[in-house]
Structure 1
């Protein structure tokens, strides 16, 4: 039997390559004769650079940067032979870099991402692809722009403090982005705009620590910032606040669009790099997964892309996840044949399955891999 293993990461516990390896180990313990194809995936969020490095090769260059609160953190860029640099916003802006008590999108900044982009530009890359996802910021990329030489100013001409809330007082932006003519690409599968009910603040702000009052404040601040960018930044497109993808990563998508960049599907980019279509064409079974299989999974995430492609080929697709909250009918309509949860797998243990799923994910995935082999292998 030919089995394709192509999961996303389990956020906060395991990167995608380790998820795939654990399931594969379990499967092989039961069905050694089966042919396992391992293609870890990412959609632009955490793990984007690692997955592309394994698929494309190239050179991974360490880059010191800062986290959403300005603390030193290690980042990296991937340089490939075709003159493209790949990086991910989560390395500098990731929600996982903040403790629960530190999550406040009014004050967190994307400045560290600007340092990564600068390193990519100075490396001589002609195209810079930025994976967007998993961010703990909501500043519409203002911090990133500041690091690139475009400074938001108040009415008195002073530079604004970092964070989304401060943008309520923005009166102008000053400076020219130091990009040396590179082409910018935002890799994201979020089509939310920057502003409004479906925008960055309303949809993603609460996940980053914003209450209802914060959401209203941030949406108004980002609206003001979008108006200023359209007026002061040469080349910024009209209607910035309503463009699809502008709301990605707390509005970093909008900042990249303002700089003349474009948007591309993150999962589509990774799919091409990993030659996933060719692997799907020969598979008898597809196993994918992520940390939480929920309603958002079916909106442009890895699982949705994989399941849809498997369905189109008439190949069964199984999801393994830390938690499963998607209904069977909804999942089936997306191409998912069945879904397995680590929380349910560990459910009989004292203290409940959630603690075990978070503390022993690799163990649980190996056991689920063996279970799947018993159920599916010929």
Structure 2
């Protein structure tokens, strides 16, 4: 039997690569004769560069860039021929902010990664958006590429208060005719009821009482640069990094689609008898551009069954099938919550072995 193993990261516990290896280890324990094809996945957030490096090869350019509070932070750019892949979470991820000082966190480091890609000779730069701890509208990225204003652009959203002038022409000149892609599934606008501050601010540590203030600063910022772009779908991605990239002429593409295409997921699904995916928490929000839903859709197009393994499963069978998944299995149901967090790889391995009893021939 041929099994395609295509999980996302298990946030906070396992990378997508580690999750794929754990699932494979458990499956082999129960069904050693099965042929396994490991295709760890990402949607533009944490793990984006690692997954693409695993699939495409290429060279990793090791760098030190500005973190969300200006501290030196290690990061990498993946170079594959004349295309560079940048993972914004490496420079401004939530794991770097710890949900602290959300009004001061900057995306300057992401701009430094893009600048490094340009200096390395890239003709196309793909920026993975997701998992950010910032809500600065991408102002820091613009500053790193040469944009100027009458307020600091690289000191977080609070520094944008009172902005009346800004010029991004130097940043656009820096890019020249290089193609820019924003890899994101988020459709939110920069500001308003469905904007970056209102929708994603609380998960980055922004208190409810501060949302209106931060949204107002982003409104001022957008009014100075380009209000129309701020209302485009995807401008609110990664705390507004999407807005900065759109200002610079970026094309937006769903992150999962980009990774699936790069890894030939559709072709690999057609060659398999079963597709296995997974993530930390499998719930109905998985439909909003998350990896398991995307993998399930690819499996459906290949007319192959898809099952999901997760830390927790928070949907019933009806919702599961609406997501395109035949069955979903939870680590906490098999080994308990304590072990699931203490030994996630071992717990996932045990879960995969149990699933293989049901699904392997």
Cα distance change, pair 160–9 in 1 and its aligned pair in 2 (3 A) = closer
Cα distance change, pair 16–279 in 1 and its aligned pair in 2 (3 A) = same
Return the alpha-carbon distance in structure 2 between the equivalents of residues 190 and 161 of structure 1.
23
Return the alpha-carbon distance in structure 2 between the equivalents of residues 306 and 265 of structure 1.
13
Give the C-alpha shift of residue 161 in structure 1. Answer: 6.2
> Partner of 2:291 in structure 1?
302
> Partner of 2:93 in structure 1?
94
Return the alpha-carbon distance in structure 2 between the equivalents of residues 266 and 133 of structure 1.
9
Return the alpha-carbon distance in structure 1 between the equivalents of residues 343 and 69 of structure 2.
30
> Partner of 2:260 in structure 1?
271
Alignment partner of 1:328 is 2:328: no
Give the C-alpha shift of residue 256 in structure 1. Answer: 0.2
In structure 1, which of residues 113, 130, 133 is the aligned counterpart of residue 130 of structure 2? 133
| Contact kept in structure 2, 1:106 and 1:214, CA below 8 Å | no
| Contact kept in structure 2, 1:247 and 1:254, CA below 8 Å | yes
| Contact kept in structure 1, 2:163 and 2:220, CA below 8 Å | yes
- Show the 5 A alignment for 1:40-189: 40-81=40-81, 83-100=82-99, 102=100, 104-154=101-151, 159=152, 162-174=155-167, 176-177=170-171, 178-189=174-185
For the residue of structure 1 that corresponds to 2:310, the secondary structure is strand
Return the alpha-carbon distance in structure 1 between the equivalents of residues 266 and 233 of structure 2.
26
Alignment partner of 1:363 is 2:360: no
TM-score (norm. length: structure 1): 0.91
Give the C-alpha shift of residue 160 in structure 1. Answer: 5.4
Give the C-alpha shift of residue 166 in structure 1. Answer: 2.4
Count of aligned pairs: 358
> Partner of 2:221 in structure 1?
225
TM-score (norm. length: structure 2): 0.95
Cα distance change, pair 4–202 in 1 and its aligned pair in 2 (3 A) = same
> Partner of 1:233 in structure 2?
none
| Contact kept in structure 2, 1:22 and 1:365, CA below 8 Å | yes
| Contact kept in structure 1, 2:66 and 2:73, CA below 8 Å | yes
Give the C-alpha shift of residue 76 in structure 1. Answer: 0.5
> Partner of 2:211 in structure 1?
215
> Partner of 1:2 in structure 2?
2
Cα distance change, pair 322–35 in 1 and its aligned pair in 2 (3 A) = same
Give the C-alpha shift of residue 135 in structure 1. Answer: 0.3
| Contact kept in structure 2, 1:185 and 1:263, CA below 8 Å | yes
Return the alpha-carbon distance in structure 2 between the equivalents of residues 305 and 218 of structure 1.
33
Return the alpha-carbon distance in structure 2 between the equivalents of residues 74 and 113 of structure 1.
12
In structure 2, which of residues 276, 282, 290 is the aligned counterpart of residue 293 of structure 1? 282
Alignment partner of 1:282 is 2:254: no
Runs of 4+ in 1 over 6 A off after TM superposition: none
Give the C-alpha shift of residue 97 in structure 1. Answer: 1.6
For the residue of structure 2 that corresponds to 1:198, the secondary structure is coil
| Contact kept in structure 2, 1:184 and 1:261, CA below 8 Å | yes
| Contact kept in structure 1, 2:307 and 2:326, CA below 8 Å | yes
Return the alpha-carbon distance in structure 2 between the equivalents of residues 207 and 114 of structure 1.
23
| Contact kept in structure 2, 1:142 and 1:152, CA below 8 Å | no
For the residue of structure 1 that corresponds to 2:279, the secondary structure is strand
Give the C-alpha shift of residue 282 in structure 1. Answer: 2.2
Cα displacement string for residues 63-97 of structure 1 (whole angstroms, at most 9, x for unaligned residues): 1112212111110101111x111110000010012
CA RMSD of aligned residues (A): 1.5
For the residue of structure 2 that corresponds to 1:191, the secondary structure is coil
For the residue of structure 1 that corresponds to 2:181, the secondary structure is strand
| Gaps in structure 2 of 5+ consecutive residues | none
Give the C-alpha shift of residue 329 in structure 1. Answer: 1.6
Cα distance change, pair 205–64 in 1 and its aligned pair in 2 (3 A) = same
Cα distance change, pair 187–272 in 1 and its aligned pair in 2 (3 A) = same
| Contact kept in structure 2, 1:77 and 1:85, CA below 8 Å | yes
